Structure 1
């Protein structure tokens, strides 16, 4: 029982951290007036830099879409739409 509670708290902390990262990325692009330029690569880099979390492009896309939806902005469809060719190397 105690392990489940600890795991849930850890997962909730991770989720909040990644939502914060996605919020920062999207907010910065909204202020600049180019929300379409927010990428999963930025979220991945900032998540690692701030929180030492390694995430996939698919997971970063989920968090990016969550923040875009919160602002009623168009969502991204596929990871390929937000990944530049350099990211795949």
Structure 2
């Protein structure tokens, strides 16, 4: 019971951290008017620097796309087909 609760909390924290990193990267690019130049490697590096959390670039693309679509910008090309898990 407690294990599942801890796992859910850890997953929610991880999601919040990655979304915050993606928002930060997109915000920086918005300021300089070059949103289409945001790349997944920036999210990966920023996230590792802030929280020592490691993610793949494919996962970073998903999070960047979530932020971009929320702000009305075009999506980045994904390395996996829609809905496919790695």
On whether the aligned pair clears a TM of 0.5, the verdict is yes
Where does the alignment leave 5 or more consecutive residues of structure 1 unmatched? 80-89
Give the TM-score, by structure 1 length: 0.86
SS at match of 2:42: helix
Structure 2: gaps of 5 or more residues: 80-86
Aligned length: 79
Two-structure CA RMSD over aligned residues (Å): 0.7
Greater helix fraction, Structure 1 or Structure 2: 1
Counting only pairs closer than 5 Å after superposition, residues 30-41 of structure 1 correspond to structure 2 as 30-41=30-41
TM-score of the aligned structures, taking structure 2 as reference length: 0.89
Distance 1:16 1:45 in 2: 16
| Off by >2 Å, runs of 4+ in structure 1 | none
